Structure 1
Amino acid sequence: MKKIDYSQWAFIWDLDGTLIQTTEDGVKRVRFVCEKVGLLPEKIPDNQMFRRLWGMPYVELVIKVSDELSWGKQDLINYWKEEKKYKYPKPKKFGYINSGLQYLKDIGVKLAIISSRDKKSMLKIAEECGLNLSFFSYIQGNGCHDFVKPDKRVFDKVEEFFVSQGMTLDKFVYIGDTVDYDYQAARNRGFLFVAVASSFIATPTDFIVAGLNKKLIYTDPSELCLEVDRIIKFFVD
Structure 2
Amino acid sequence: MGMGQDTAMADVQFVRSAAGGYGQPAHAGIVGVSQPDVHAPEGRGDAYRITVVSAGVSEHSATGRLGDAVAVRTQETLQRHGHECELRHIALKDFAADIAVAAVDYHMSDALRGVFEQVISSDALIAATPVFKASYSGLFKSFWDIVDVDAIVNMPVVLVATGGSRRHALVPDTAMRSLFAFLRAIPTPTSLLAAGEDWGSAELEARQRRAGEELAAMILAGLRSTMAAADADAAHDAPSQIPVR
Bucket of the pairwise TM-score, normalised by the shorter protein: 0.3 to 0.5
Q: Normalising by structure 2, what TM-score? A: 0.38
Higher relative contact order, chain-length normalized (CA < 8 Å, sep 6+):
1
Larger % of helix: which?
Answer: 1
Alignment TM-score, normalising by the size of structure 1: 0.39
